[in-house]
Amino acid sequence: MTNSGKARIIEYDHSDLVELNVRLSEWIIGLGDELKAMEVDKMTMTSYYEPYINKPLQCKCSMTNWDLAVRNEDAKFITALVGDYVDRDFSPREHKNKEVETWGVSYTEGESIDWHCHGKPQGGSDYSFCYYPKVPEGSANLLFKDIHSDIKHWETNHDYYTDLQNGFPDYPMYYECTPEEGKLIVWDAEIMHAVPPNKPNGRCAFIGNIFLTKRN
């Protein structure tokens, strides 16, 4: 386990899951792009995003649907590990159970994911995770930006979507994760992150969000 510090980005080593990694990566890559790309109206330069049908605009690689842990036992196993780590290492607020959404991404040369977050200000999850079943040599790193700087886009007059398009220039770089097969990363979901243009074909990741449901 590696903890990057105050922003709560924690790495876990599961390099022993060799057979699982082969099965999971082959399945994710085989599924390919299951979501439709967002169409931009060229007259108004606007787009419409329909959750669970459209691929998020920042995703510039192949992406599966949002239900991998329902469809695949290996994905379900990794998701259960994440739930245990959240309870042990992240001191979550009191909750009844955890709801999840999970998906896979795969990259060919030049593909990437732009800066974004899965939590505030988009009203999203409590925690996010990324597991790497396949990492060819030279694969792009996972980059994080510091949400603990003085700038809080959801508390100021910043235009979030303009800053999103510009790569959140006011936020300093905080942490850079080198992907390795069997590496699992869990983080607070409001942390900005991105994957720069990838070099080799075949980089593959299993990703998810954890939503804590309150006790009655």
User: Would you state the pLDDT for residue 152?
Assistant: 43
Are the C-beta atoms of residues 139 and 198 closer than 8 Å to each other? yes
CA distance 105 to 113: 10
- pLDDT by position in tens, the chain (length 216): 556 556 689 999 999 999 999 999 999 999 999 987 655 555 544 455 566 677 888 899 999 999 999 999 999 999 999 999 999 998 788 888 899 999 999 999 999 998 888 886 556 899 999 999 999 999 999 998 865 544 444 344 445 455 555 555 555 666 889 999 999 999 999 888 899 999 999 999 999 999 998 765
- Domain locations in the chain? 2-213
Concatenate the DSSP letters of all residues of 5-69 into one string.
STT-EEEEE-TT-HHHHHHHHHHHHHH---SEEPPEETTTTEE---TTTEEPTTEESEE--SBHH
Please state, in angstroms and as integers, the Cα–Cα distance from residue 128 to each residue in 30, 46, 176, 200, following that order.
Answer: 24, 28, 16, 25
Given CA atoms 49, 52, 53, 55 in this order, what sign does their dihedral have? positive
Q: Which of 3, 21, 62 is closest to 185 using CA atoms?
A: 3
φ and ψ of 11, to 5 deg: -105, 145
pLDDT, residue 147, reads: 56
Nearest to 203 by CA among 115, 143, 113, 133: 133
CATH superfamily of 2-213: q2cbj1_9rhob like domain (2.60.120.620)
Q: In what order do the strands lie in the sheet with 112-116?
A: 59-60, 112-116, 193-195, 142-145, 173-177
Q: Check residue 216 and give its pLDDT.
A: 53
Q: How far apart are CA 7 and CA 148, in angstroms?
A: 7
Residues pairing with 193 in the sheet: 116, 144
Residues comprising the chain, all counted: 216
- The per-residue pLDDT for 179 is 97
Interstrand relation of 112-116 and 193-195 (parallel, antiparallel or unpaired): antiparallel
